[in-house]
Amino acid sequence: MECAVDAQSLISISLMKIHNSRTQRGGIKLHKNLLVSYVLRNARQVYIKEKYAEIYRMQQYEEVMTVCNEIQELNPLDPEPEDAEEEDLEVAALSCCAPLQDGGGKEPETSFYRSCCMETPGSPCDPFAGNGSHCNKTTVLDLDTHVVTTVENRYLHQDCCCSAPQCAPVPDSPVRKRKGDFGCCASDLEEVSDFSASRKRVRREECTDPNYTDTSNISNLISIFGSGFSGLLSRQADLEQICSKQALASLGAWTRAIVAF
């Protein structure tokens, strides 16, 4: 009885069960679908946590490498006595923001995204959900290709890496300009050590992109309404809850199809 107990396969199996239940004799079985949605939620949570951990590991690695490079390149500054403290913080800010800069300002704002988008096409890429960002995310099953993908802000993630307009910083973002003008999504000095906060802020901005494509683009896909019945989410302190609620709100029609009574 071999079985892949990995989250991704459980997600696809669960989606297929929900899909099949629509054609079963006797109508949709509410109890069974509720239980399947619990499995879906559990698998999704594990999957997201794994992804986030993976990305964080990658980020840390990049950060370490870049800091090393920066230390080698750093020129001694002429600090004014009263600015000494600020300079220390600045250096700290510099080192912390370094990954976003990606060596010299070449598309600094996209480097972070690039690392996330380095996922193989077709695999769900879900970098932000674990840290409470307000992203609309839905896992969908394409009935034609049987591919499970994550729909983010109603864009298919498979093709967003190259053409994501969100990757550019929004002009009115609360970016603090300071010496050196990194010109990118720098975090507040107080939160200089908190990567997730900086990412969260950027993400929040880009999530309010009004130009979402019509859901008819994904007309063949079945959405699984985030993680199923939103009441399940209230049990969890998990930050994914916020994403799913928004995903749920956007998928009323699909949800109603499943709760067909």
Partner 1 sequence: MLAGSGGDMQWCFSQVKGAIDDDVAEADIISTVEFNHTGELLATGDKGGRVVIFQQEIENKNYPQLRSEYNVYSTFQSHEPEFDYLKSLEIEEKINKIRWLPQKNAAQFLLSTNDKTIKLWKISERDRRADGYNLKEEDGRYKDPNSITSLRVPVLIPMDLMVEASPRRVFANAHTYHINSVSVNSDHETYLSADDLRINLWNLEITDRSFNIVDIKPANMEELTEVITASEFHPNQCNTFVFSSSKGTIRLCDMRASALCDKHSKLFEEPENPSNRSFFSEIISSISDVKFSHNGQYMMTRDYLSVKIWDLKMENRPVETYQVHEYLRSKLCSLYENDCIFDKFECCWNGNDSVVMTGSYNNFFRMFDREHRRDVTLEASRENSKPLQVLKPRKVCTGGKRKKDEISVDSLDFNKKILHTAWHPLDNIIAVATTNNLYIFQDKLTG
Neighbour tally for 12: CB within 10 Å: 15
Under DSSP, is residue 248 helix (H, G, I), strand (E, B) or coil? Answer: helix
C-beta of 35 vs 197, nearer to partner 1: 35
CA distance 98 to 13: 41
C-beta of 50 vs 191, nearer to partner 1: 50
DSSP of 41-73, one letter per residue? HHHHHHHHHHHHHHHHHHHHHHHHHHHHHHHHH
- Among 105-113, 137-145, 162-170, 225-233, which window interacts with partner 1 (CB under 8 A)? 225-233
Q: Is residue 38 involved in binding partner 1 (CB under 8 A)?
A: yes
C-beta of 177 vs 235, nearer to partner 1: 235
Task: List the one residue from 59, 229, 242, 250 that touches partner 1 (CB under 8 A).
Answer: 229
CA distance 106 to 124: 27
DSSP of 70-120, one letter per residue? HHHHPPPP---GGGHHHHHHHHHHHHHHHHHHTTTSSSHHHHHHHHHTTSP
Q: Is residue 22 involved in binding partner 1 (CB under 8 A)?
A: no
Q: Is residue 237 involved in binding partner 1 (CB under 8 A)?
A: no
Q: Is residue 261 involved in binding partner 1 (CB under 8 A)?
A: yes
H helix or E strand, kind and range, residue 156: strand 155-156
Q: Is residue 1 involved in binding partner 1 (CB under 8 A)?
A: yes
Q: Is residue 254 involved in binding partner 1 (CB under 8 A)?
A: no
Minimal distance in Å, beta carbon 17 to partner 1? 8
Phi, psi (rounded to 5 degrees) for 137: -135, 135
Indicate the angle between helix axes 108-116 and 84-101, nearest 10 degrees: 50
- Among 104-112, 122-130, 186-194, 223-231, which window interacts with partner 1 (CB under 8 A)? 223-231
Q: Is residue 35 involved in binding partner 1 (CB under 8 A)?
A: yes
For 1, counting Cβ atoms within 10 Å of its Cβ (0-12 exposed, 13-18 middle, 19+ buried), the class is exposed
* Residues composing the chain: 261
Q: Is residue 10 involved in binding partner 1 (CB under 8 A)?
A: yes
- Among 21-29, 88-96, 114-122, 134-142, which window interacts with partner 1 (CB under 8 A)? 21-29
Q: Is residue 231 involved in binding partner 1 (CB under 8 A)?
A: yes
Number of residues that bind partner 1 (CB under 8 A): 35
Task: List the one residue from 19, 46, 142, 161 that touches partner 1 (CB under 8 A).
Answer: 46
Q: Is residue 2 involved in binding partner 1 (CB under 8 A)?
A: yes
End-to-end Cα distance, the chain: 36
- Which residue ranges make up the site for partner 1 (CB under 8 A)? 1-5, 7, 10, 13, 17, 25-27, 29-32, 34-35, 38-39, 42-43, 46, 225, 229-232, 234-235, 248, 255, 259-261
